[in-house]
Chain A
Amino acid sequence: MKKQIKTFLLSQYGWLSIISSLLLAILVVMSQILQNASQFAESYSTLLFIAFSGIILLVIFLVKTLLKLHWQYRNNVAGIKLTVRLTIIISAMLGIPLTIVFYFSMSFVHQGIDQWFDVKTETALSNAVKLVQTSLDDQTRRKLNNTQQVLKRHQEDLIHAPILTLNKIGEQLNAREISLYSSDGQLIAYNSQENIGILPTAPAPRLFQQIRKRLTYAAIETQPGVNSQHQFIHIILPVNDLLNNKLYALQVIFPIPDQLSQLATTVQVASGQYQELSYLRNPLKTSFTVILTLVFLLTLISALLFTIRTIENIIRPIRTLAEGTKEVSKGNYTLTMPIESHDEMGQLIQSFNDMIQQIAKARNEIKFGQQQAEMQKLYLQAIIKNLNSGVLTFDNHMRLKTLNDATNRILNTDLFSQVGNEVDVILNQPEYHPLNTFFEQVFPLFRKDAKPWSQQLSYDDVSDRKMLLVHGSTLPSLDQGMSGYVIVIEDITKIIKAQLHAAWNDVAQRLAHEIKNPLTPIQLSAERLNYKLSSKLEGADHQLLKRMTATIIEQVLAMQNLVDAFNEYADTPELELSQINLNDLVRDVVHMYKDPSANWRVVAEVDSQCPIISADPNKLRQLLHNLIKNGLEACEAKPQGLVRVITQNMNDHQIQLSVCDNGEGITENIKNWIFEPYATGKPKGTGLGLPIVKKIVDEHQGQIQVESSPETGTCFIIQLPKTQ
């Protein structure tokens, strides 16, 4: 763990720490050199070069880092906005105080340097120098006077006995060194209190020139080595040998008192340093400005780089989290984010990973459940769709939720477009008015005890009356309540009709068997009675016999016709299909009804585009006869009865055959049972004409509907398939 932390710190902050520390050390050394370590001045330029280069390197790193941040910002990398925001805030928090400190440091440095060289200090130093110089000059002057006085007293002795006299003069003057030279610089005699064995230093040639001009020399000099500790008073006096006309030079060196010498040295050093520093005032300011600027830049740039790096390290887990969240939002639940640290952020990422796994697991389970439910739904939908029974469901608010094709077929409507609408809204639409009666009967059957119910209902749609067996039940909900209603509709019309048909067949067979068979003997007996007795009776009896036998025969014929009609209705022979031209068939049949004397007309209006169809011509002929007869009977009351037989090519699959009369029409009520056997409203009819028509149409897989109104009469519209 510790090793990991160390490696992380080294990799993240190592180079920056090294460069910053190195530069800081260099700047500290430079500052020291600048202040008081001039012996290292030669390395100052190298350090300055390294410092500049280091700062430039840091600036390059900073620019590179900022460019990287800019690129990330433009590419909207996760977490970059937070990084930039924090960087700006912390940079401002660092930069502003640093700048303030830098400004005040600069001011203090400049003011401090200026204060070193204030007028009072300069004046004091100058006065101190003058004071020391005056003191030394006074010392020199006094030494010169003393020397001159002593020389005046011992001048003769000095010329004749220089060695002894020099010793004496030296003792009297308390000189450190005294020597006598000839005018050409030859040493004649000397005396020294310190270094007896060492020859004295000869005066400079220019001083001998001065002596030759009989001029005295008195000055404070410094011994070679330019060490102020070795200053001395140097006096040279000309000594005239008037007898021999020679000139000598007496050199006397006096030590300066230690206290005065030390004071003079101190003042001299201070003055020298002050002079040097006063000249270096501006360069010093410049140098300190440079160093302070470098320190400022180093601190600021290093702080910025450290800050950015630290923020990036802090933001990295957040960035990882953000990227992970983005991936999860895209639906990628297989993601596992790397955990780079074991702190709270690491725990957060771990928790996030666990959460993603849990979500993925739950999602898979939900997905599996959804698939199962979907399969169940599809399964049920397929079942419901393929059911011959209609299924309708409604929610609690009586909104239509689902239905199947069979519902539309049975109810002869299209309710798919009404899914989601309330029943009231649906029934208010004109095209769904026929459903009113149905739903008015159905909904009251949903009792509050929610028990299933079944009810047989009749339903009158536009063209037909249907017998429906309706089952109803409420739908359960998760809260044990009721979530809606389900209605199952079975169309039992065919079953009813089949039962009816079977009954009629049975009746017809019984009629044929029980009634038709005796009719012929009855008829023959009647005819025989008429034949045997008509010649024996006369007058009124003869007429009575004739009339009664005629009646018997007529009624027998009527009964035979009735029985034949029943037979015909009950008989269900196989269709004998052939390719026929419907137009020709229509023309043939219509032609049979040509009667110029009649007050009615039967006309054919054929569509020449009608193709050859596959049908049983005999059946269709019977159909046409039945409908034409029906039409003629309907318009009997009309002075100009008209029955039109119309063919029309509808489409590729169907043709339409219509038989229309201009009679008074039929009521809506009659329309519903007009095709039922023995449901005629006419006194003479058998009640089987239209049922037979319906039967023939059904056998040809066609459809028949009735349109009727008092103004236009009645139209039977038959749609037949072109091929069977």
Chain B
Amino acid sequence: MNTTQRLWLKALSLVVIFGMPTAQADIQVLSLNDYQVNQQLVLDATIDINLAPLIIEAVNHEVPLTFTTEIELNERYSLLGIDLSRNRVKITYESQVNYFGFNKIYVISNKRNQKVQSFSSLSEALKTMGTLSSFYLANLADLHPNTLYTIKIRVALNQWKLPTPLILDALWKSDWQLDSGWHQTQIQSPKSWQ
């Protein structure tokens, strides 16, 4: 669904939805660092996922939340004096947060590597989900020394993966508009690449 359709639906759902945002909630990329390990470019990132009470209540009612993480490695180059950019690596994966009331555990499922991890608290689960450690990005051999590279990361709540009845709410209420936006950093080409 494109932006126009989203705006349309927002405008049209105004007549049937009377909810208002209840509290400030957001996703922030606190840190994004790159380094090399064994000629591989890896990154560490810390993302703070702050859920509104409304969403926490939803999770505690076993409503699954799906977060989409997008990571891009872009290369900047010059052609005939014009600065251009092209994408070298693009990684998109989804993580799901579930709560099992029966076991009173929060479970994070990484749909990329199919890893599952249980937590006794939501904050612990979100903290773990927001921590990327030694995340493999690219092989240094594929990159060009003395070329400017940027890493971009974005984490957002995927509203379209919510239970269907919640979609209209999520489209209208800002509590459900969780998106870190693109956070980028420039890779300083180390000499060891050479």
Which residues of A line the B interface, CB within 8 A? 33-34, 38, 41-42, 44-46, 48-49, 52-53, 129, 132-133, 220, 222, 224-226, 264, 267-268, 271-273, 275-276, 278-280, 283-284, 286-287, 289-290, 293
B 165-183 binary contact with A (CB < 8 Å = 1; else 0): 1111101000000000000
**C-alpha gap A53/B9 in the complex (Å):** 10
B 146-172 binary contact with A (CB < 8 Å = 1; else 0): 000000000000001111111111010
Q: Does B23 contact A (CB under 8 A)?
A: no
Q: Which of A129, A280, A293 has the most CB of B within 10 A?
A: A280
Which residue of A has the minimal Cβ distance to B166? A283
Which residue of A has the minimal Cβ distance to B6? A45
Contact between B1 and A275, CB atoms less than 8 A apart = no
Chain B residues with CB under 8 A of A264: 102
- Interface pick from B10-18, B39-47, B72-80, B82-90: B10-18
Known contacts A44-B167, A276-B163, A290-B16: A226-B107 contact under CB 8 Å: yes
Query: Chain A: interface secondary structure?
Result: helix
Q: Does B141 contact A (CB under 8 A)?
A: no
Chain A residues with CB under 8 A of B12: 52
**Contacts A33-B164, A52-B12 given; 4 further ones with Cβ under 8 A?**
A220-B103, A268-B102, A276-B62, A290-B168
Which residue of B has the minimal Cβ distance to A224? B116
Contact between B61 and A276, CB atoms less than 8 A apart = yes
Contact between A226 and B8, CB atoms less than 8 A apart = no
Chain A residues with CB under 8 A of B132: none
Which residue of B has the minimal Cβ distance to A276? B62
Between A and B, 28 residue pairs with Cβ closer than 8 Å are A38-B163, A41-B160, A41-B163, A42-B161, A45-B9, A46-B1, A46-B5, A133-B102, A222-B118, A225-B116, A226-B116, A268-B100, A268-B102, A272-B62, A275-B60, A275-B61, A279-B58, A280-B165, A283-B163, A283-B168, A284-B165, A286-B16, A286-B17, A286-B168, A287-B164, A287-B168, A290-B13, A290-B16
Which residue of B has the minimal Cβ distance to A293? B16
Contact between B163 and A280, CB atoms less than 8 A apart = yes
Contact between A52 and B161, CB atoms less than 8 A apart = no
Shortest CB-to-CB span from B55 to chain A, Å, is 11
Q: Does B63 contact A (CB under 8 A)?
A: yes
Chain A residues with CB under 8 A of B171: 45
Contact between B167 and A271, CB atoms less than 8 A apart = no
Which residue of B has the minimal Cβ distance to A46? B1
Known contacts A49-B9, A268-B100: A226-B61 contact under CB 8 Å: no
Chain B residues with CB under 8 A of A41: 160-164, 167
Contact between B61 and A44, CB atoms less than 8 A apart = no
Q: Does B98 contact A (CB under 8 A)?
A: yes
Contact between A279 and B57, CB atoms less than 8 A apart = yes
Shortest CB-to-CB span from A664 to chain B, Å, is 118
Contact between A52 and B9, CB atoms less than 8 A apart = yes
Which residue of B has the minimal Cβ distance to A32? B164
Contact between B103 and A48, CB atoms less than 8 A apart = no
Contact between B16 and A283, CB atoms less than 8 A apart = no
Q: Does B101 contact A (CB under 8 A)?
A: yes
Q: Does B109 contact A (CB under 8 A)?
A: yes
Q: Within the complex, which residue of B5, B60, B165 is in contact with A286, where a contact is CB–CB below 8 Å?
A: B165
Known contacts A45-B167, A287-B164: A275-B107 contact under CB 8 Å: no
Contact between B167 and A275, CB atoms less than 8 A apart = no
Which residue of B has the minimal Cβ distance to A272? B62
**C-alpha gap A225/B160 in the complex (Å):** 23
Contact between B8 and A271, CB atoms less than 8 A apart = no
Chain B residues with CB under 8 A of A280: 61, 63, 163, 165-166
Chain B residues with CB under 8 A of A271: 101-102
Q: Within the complex, which residue of A45, A286, A290 is in contact with B1, where a contact is CB–CB below 8 Å?
A: A45
B 87-117 binary contact with A (CB < 8 Å = 1; else 0): 0000000000010111100010100000110
Contact between A129 and B102, CB atoms less than 8 A apart = yes
**C-alpha gap A224/B115 in the complex (Å):** 8
Contact between B98 and A226, CB atoms less than 8 A apart = yes
Shortest CB-to-CB span from A436 to chain B, Å, is 97
**C-alpha gap A485/B13 in the complex (Å):** 94
Q: Within the complex, which residue of A272, A276, A287 is in contact with B102, where a contact is CB–CB below 8 Å?
A: A272
Which residues of B line the A interface, CB within 8 A? 1, 5-6, 8-9, 12-13, 16-17, 57-58, 60-63, 98, 100-103, 107, 109, 115-116, 118, 160-169, 171
**C-alpha gap A283/B164 in the complex (Å):** 9
Chain A residues with CB under 8 A of B169: 283, 286
Known contacts A41-B167, A224-B116: A48-B9 contact under CB 8 Å: yes
Chain A residues with CB under 8 A of B98: 226
Chain A residues with CB under 8 A of B57: 279
Shortest CB-to-CB span from B182 to chain A, Å, is 23
Known contacts A286-B16, A290-B13: A52-B8 contact under CB 8 Å: yes
Known contacts A275-B101, A278-B61: A44-B5 contact under CB 8 Å: no
Shortest CB-to-CB span from A277 to chain B, Å, is 8
Which residue of B has the minimal Cβ distance to A30? B164
Q: Within the complex, which residue of B6, B100, B115, B166 is in contact with A272, where a contact is CB–CB below 8 Å?
A: B100
**C-alpha gap A222/B164 in the complex (Å):** 28
Shortest CB-to-CB span from B24 to chain A, Å, is 21
**C-alpha gap A275/B164 in the complex (Å):** 15
Shortest CB-to-CB span from B84 to chain A, Å, is 34
Shortest CB-to-CB span from A281 to chain B, Å, is 9
**C-alpha gap A45/B5 in the complex (Å):** 9
Shortest CB-to-CB span from B116 to chain A, Å, is 5
Shortest CB-to-CB span from A280 to chain B, Å, is 5
Which residue of B has the minimal Cβ distance to A51? B12
Chain A residues with CB under 8 A of B58: 279
Chain A residues with CB under 8 A of B102: 129, 132-133, 264, 267-268, 271-272
Contact between A276 and B63, CB atoms less than 8 A apart = yes
**C-alpha gap A290/B14 in the complex (Å):** 11
**C-alpha gap A276/B160 in the complex (Å):** 17
Which residue of B has the minimal Cβ distance to A33? B164
Contact between B8 and A38, CB atoms less than 8 A apart = no
Chain B residues with CB under 8 A of A46: 1, 5
Known contacts A49-B8, A286-B16: A222-B103 contact under CB 8 Å: yes
**C-alpha gap A280/B165 in the complex (Å):** 7
Which residue of B has the minimal Cβ distance to A48? B9
Shortest CB-to-CB span from B45 to chain A, Å, is 23
Contact between B164 and A34, CB atoms less than 8 A apart = yes
Which residue of B has the minimal Cβ distance to A222? B103
**C-alpha gap A224/B107 in the complex (Å):** 10
Which residue of A has the minimal Cβ distance to B104? A133
**C-alpha gap A591/B8 in the complex (Å):** 126
Shortest CB-to-CB span from A45 to chain B, Å, is 5
Q: Within the complex, which residue of A38, A268, A273 is in contact with B164, where a contact is CB–CB below 8 Å?
A: A38
**C-alpha gap A46/B63 in the complex (Å):** 22
Closest 10 A/B residue pairs (Cβ): A279-B61, A283-B165, A268-B102, A287-B165, A41-B164, A284-B165, A275-B61, A272-B62, A275-B62, A52-B12
Shortest CB-to-CB span from B11 to chain A, Å, is 9
**C-alpha gap A616/B166 in the complex (Å):** 131
Chain B residues with CB under 8 A of A290: 13, 16, 168
**C-alpha gap A220/B168 in the complex (Å):** 38
Shortest CB-to-CB span from B107 to chain A, Å, is 6
Chain B residues with CB under 8 A of A220: 103
Which residue of A has the minimal Cβ distance to B98? A226
**C-alpha gap A226/B171 in the complex (Å):** 30
Chain A residues with CB under 8 A of B109: 226
Chain B residues with CB under 8 A of A33: 164
Chain A residues with CB under 8 A of B60: 275
